[in-house]
Structure formats: structure tokens, C-alpha cells
Amino acid sequence: MFKLLALSLILFSHGTFAKTSWENIKGFDLVSGISKEVKLEGQFSVVYFFNVNCPCSKAHFDHLNSLKNRFPDFSFIGFHSNKAISQKTAKKYFAKFEIEFPIFLDKELYFANIFKALKTPHVFIVDPQGELVFQGGATNSRNPKKASKFYLLDALTALNQGQQPPTVVAKTLGCYIQR
């Protein structure tokens, strides 16, 4: 496990991010189309990596919205990690969906590299102390509607009850993040 709070995150990704730390992420939200600051300090954070070119990413939006609504005390934040896709293209794509959490552009793969995100979608849960407590796929299927195992749901349920996640690392399915 590594301590994310100890990392100093300074991003200058085409003006997308301001100077920031793990406690606060400030940048252009591709979903709402406005600059937004998300405070992550003192709570569990669900961090998701997406790619507009990956059909597996799209398949997870409804599932993540339902989890966000079911676990309102957890912060949900996404990153679009693809060097070849412009902010304009990503914004246009994400605006088509009813996504209930911010997704920031990670064009230079800064956050993808910090987390060592392998594929999209790839999810991480960070505890209030900055420790990574879960990583991998949300389910055992590229499409949550066809899944028989729900790793992210199980992890969130356990953490919400003050317990450790039953699975700490789950296989990630989807499209590789091109580095």
C-alpha cells in the first residue's frame, strides 16, 4: 500500500488542473463543462479511470451512479486517461451521459501513473488517511449488468460498516491505457 496524501500532486496538463493536492482536486469537469473543485480530505474516495474509446468504460456509468447514490458519504471522482483525445472531444462525449460525479481530463496520464492504473475502467478506493484499500475491476464482467461478482459494491459495503474489503485486488477488465 502507498500513502497518497504524502504525494505532492502538481498538474499543468494543458491548463486543465490548477496546483492541487490529494485533499482537493481542482480542474475542468468534463461532465458539467465547468471548473470544479472536489474536496477529498477526510473521507473514502472512489477513483475511476475512463477512456472515451473504451466501450467498457461507458458500460459502467449507470453502475457507478447507483453506487454513488447508495454510498453518499464516499467521494466519487473520475479521470479520462487518454493522450490522444482532446479536452473538447472528451467533454462532448461525457456530456451525452447522465454521470453524477466529476470526470477530469488526465491527458498526460499523471493520475493514471500515480495510481498505476492499467486499464479503463480501473477503480481504486483510498481511505481517509490516504491509504489504498481496494483496486481493480468493479465487477467480474466488462458490463456490470452481466456480472456475477461485484467487487466494488462489496468493498464499499464493508468499508461503510467499518470492515476491511473482502477483496483488496480484483482483476481489471477493459481497454489498456496507452502509455
Contact 121, 49 (CB under 8 A): yes
Say which residue the cell 473521507 belongs to. Answer: 43
Rounded to whole angstroms, the Cα distance separating 92 from 86 reads 10
In tens, the pLDDT along 1-25 reads: 444 433 333 333 333 433 345 677 8
Evaluate if residue 91 carries a pLDDT over 70: yes
pTM: 0.86
Query: Measured in whole angstroms, how far is the alpha carbon of residue 10 from the centre of its chain?
Result: 18
In tens, the pLDDT along 105-144 reads: 999 999 999 999 999 999 999 999 889 999 999 999 999 9
Q: Which structural domains are found in the chain, ordered by start?
A: 24-176 (3.40.30.10)
**Residue 136 backbone zone (phi > 0: left; psi -120 to 50: alpha; other: beta):** left
**Residue 25 backbone zone (phi > 0: left; psi -120 to 50: alpha; other: beta):** beta
